[in-house]
Chain A
Amino acid sequence: MATETQHYYVPNPSPYPFILSSGLLLLTSGFVFKMNNFAPGVWMMFLGFLCVLYVLFGWFGKVIGESESGQYREWEDKSFRIAMIVFISSEVAFFAAFFGALFFVRNIGIPELAHFDPSLTPYKGFTAIWPSAGPGGMVLGKLYEVAKFEPMKPLGLPAINTMILLTSGLTVTWAHWGLVKDNRRQLILGLFMTVVLGISFLLCQAYEYHHAYTEMGLTLGTGAYGATFFMLTGFHGFHVLLGTIMLTVILLRSINGHFKPNHHFAFEGVAWYWHFVDVVWLLLFVLVYWL
């Protein structure tokens, strides 16, 4: 809470939020048009994306400027920290939805499909084994046939990816120690290693997806298994991508001499985010690949 002589930084009016919202309107409506095969969709998306990009650079640039010019002190810093924690909590809830879906189809939906009254069931011979792509049948007037596929195994690439992410959690912490000790070399080296590990993770995952699509017969359309597998790992991968970009920004800022041992919320926010991505991966590894 504020001590007596504090003043809270209330920023000047800013055009960024409005531009960002307009950009998102274009982006989303353009996407809808594109999915429904209306021509201007792509162009709207492109325009919207430009708006978003412009705002990302402008807004974050502004915030970085404000931070470096000393506008943010302890009081503001605390706001950012609470905000980041709450934001990450909302991300947890988002992943919970997909984990919930996985739990539901695996433990409730599919067993139910397999255990209908034998004299009435439309799915004779369908058994509840996971991974499952479902019993097949008609879906809103289209026939869905279950294709042969090979499920993902935990050993091999996923295990390597686990090691990569766990190590990156260590390197980013090591970088943080460097920052606190005002050892810039350790900070920059640690961050650099983290970024490299993040990129390697993404490359491995890209390879894994490619393998799944081309050799294992495993796609987004492979029933409940394909859907939960790709949506969970896909959204996680997307978060790793975001995290890597954020880490890169932090790395560049560190190289430019930003952050002080006692004032580096941006660094910590990104580090927290990275740890969150890490934890989600561990859950994925156990619940999606392994069990």
Chain B
Amino acid sequence: MVGKRLRIAVMSLAMGLWSVMAWANYSWNFPTPATPIATDTLHVHNKFMIIAMIIFFVVLGIMIFSIFNHRKDKGFKAATFTGPSTAKQVIWTLAPFALLLYIDFILMGIPAYHSVVMMEDTKNGADMVLKVTGMQWRWQYEYMDGYAKGIKFVSNLATPQDQIDNKAPKGEHYLLEVDEPVILPVNKKVRVILTSNDVIHTWWVPQFGVARDAIPGFLRETWVKIEQPGTYRGQCKELCGKGHGFMPVVVNAVSEDEFKKWADAKRAELATASAGADKTWSKEDLISHGKEVYEKNCAVCHQLDGKGVPPAFPPLAGSKVINGPIFDKDGKLIANSHLDRVLNGKNVMPAWKALLNDVDIASVVTYERNSFGNTMGDMLQPAQVKALR
């Protein structure tokens, strides 16, 4: 019997070791902290884990001692006590609980108190405010003050669908890469304001030690002060629908100077993009730009081939809405028309007017009307979209 038990134990140990040896790329603890909160959290966590493990092994040791010695097959005669009887025993019985009280409320309780206070101190000495809006299934960032004030953009998953479908080899940052990372200066206390457009999301970067929910209609806040330049990756961690596993957070921390340079460049880029609304576009340009916009924003639900996932996500191929007019004969936007749906959304479909600029919207509408077998042949000019704002 014992021999067999031993065999099983050795086997499982061997399996365990093998699995550890076979791969070098694993991690046993929190990733390297990058903010004061994360450092604090790591310390608190390590301390608590050590306490928990000591408790565990002491108790386990006592149990194992008993299991090996107080056995019937060793002829041990059972005692009959049902509780402590002498005063000395009572004190011995109470001792572990006194110790536990001490551990709970002093040894763990006091550092935990300080961590909470630090974590919630979002406003004092904040250098800038970043507003993060979660939506199915992307993040929007907006700089509320400071040098980059007014810059606003959406950050999408950049991993190609082929990698997800195992049709192409997976890149190094598979699922943790975005088209536009949010840029933050190092060593500045950034107050992060969170909200959401649809359901609850959670903005989480493990190396920052913060995770806070983005709740529709409410504002929540947290803060980060990144100590080292670098790229930091995280994910949404509140179930938010089918794309929940596919809405990463990527933060680039840079020096103050680089941050300013980036802000200038970004502002210029946004200006050109919105200027694009005033010129007249060719159909080809609209379609080719629209394809990019579509793949980034719409394909999650309506699929690359426009077939959708009915009934939740309707197909665009052959759709009545798309294969219908946009404006009535007076040039007014028709309710529930193609453009109305894209601008204002419906149910799960977001209102894109808040997320995309005029060129993007005009292009993607034109693209949809001329793809997936739809042959409307017409096009929508950015200026027409701009006029509706």
Contact = CB atoms under 8 A, between A and B. Distances in A.
B224 interface: no
A116 B219 contact: yes
- Main DSSP-derived SS at the B contact region: loop
Interface string A92-126: 00000000000000000000110011011110000
Contacts of B195: 122
A141 B219 contact: no
Contacts, number: 33
B219 A140 contact: no
Interface in A119-147: 119-122, 137-138, 140-142
Given A120-B131, A120-B144, A120-B193, A141 B217 contact: no
B198 interface: yes
Nearest to B354: A138
What are the 4 tightest A-B residue pairs by CB atom distance, in nearest-first order? A141-B345, A141-B347, A116-B219, A141-B346
A61 to B, nearest CB: 46
Contact of A140 (B144, B218, B344, B347): B347
11 contacts: A112-B218, A120-B129, A120-B131, A120-B144, A137-B217, A140-B198, A141-B198, A141-B348, A141-B350, A142-B346, A142-B347
A169 B219 CA distance: 48
B42 interface: no
Contacts of A122: 195, 217, 219
A220 B348 CA distance: 23
Nearest to B344: A141
Query: Which of B129, B217, B344, B347 has most chain A Cβ within 10 Å?
Result: B217
B383 interface: no
A113 B217 CA distance: 8
B351 interface: yes
A161 B350 CA distance: 47
Interface string B184-209: 00000000010101100000000000
Contacts of A137: 217
Contact of A121 (B198, B219, B345, B347): B219
Interface of B: 129, 131, 144, 193, 195, 197-198, 217-219, 344-351
Nearest to B345: A141
A141 B342 CA distance: 11
Contacts of B347: 140-142
A176 B218 CA distance: 54
Interface residues on chain A, size class: 10 to 19
Contact of A138 (B129, B193, B351): B351
A136 B193 CA distance: 21
Nearest to B131: A120
A284 B105 CA distance: 41
Contacts of B217: 113, 122, 137
A113 B347 CA distance: 23
A141 B131 contact: no
Given A140-B348, A141-B344, A141-B347, 4 more contacts: A113-B217, A116-B219, A117-B193, A120-B131
B341 to A, nearest CB: 10
A106 B166 CA distance: 51
A240 B217 CA distance: 37
A117 B351 contact: no
A142 B345 CA distance: 8
Contacts of B219: 116-117, 120-122
Query: Which of A112, A122, A140 has most chain B Cβ within 10 Å?
Result: A140
A119 B347 CA distance: 29
Nearest to B346: A141
A146 to B, nearest CB: 13
A113 B218 contact: yes
B49 to A, nearest CB: 34
Contacts of B193: 117, 120
Contacts of A116: 219
Given A120-B131, A120-B144, A120-B193, A141 B218 contact: no
B65 to A, nearest CB: 44
A121 to B, nearest CB: 7
Contacts of B345: 141
A117 B131 CA distance: 13
A116 B176 CA distance: 32
B196 to A, nearest CB: 11
Contacts of A112: 218
A140 B351 CA distance: 10
A141 B129 CA distance: 27
A122 B131 CA distance: 12
A230 B218 CA distance: 25
B130 to A, nearest CB: 11
Interface string A228-272: 000000000000000000000000000000000000000000000
Interface in A200-239: none
Contacts of A120: 129, 131, 144, 193, 219
Interface in A125-181: 137-138, 140-142
A141 B144 contact: no
Nearest to A119: B144
A126 to B, nearest CB: 11
A140 B131 CA distance: 20
Query: Which of A113, A138, A142 has most chain B Cβ within 10 Å?
Result: A138
A120 B129 CA distance: 10
Contacts of A113: 217-218
B220 to A, nearest CB: 10
A116 B131 CA distance: 14
Nearest to B145: A119
A207 to B, nearest CB: 35
A226 to B, nearest CB: 17
Nearest to A121: B219
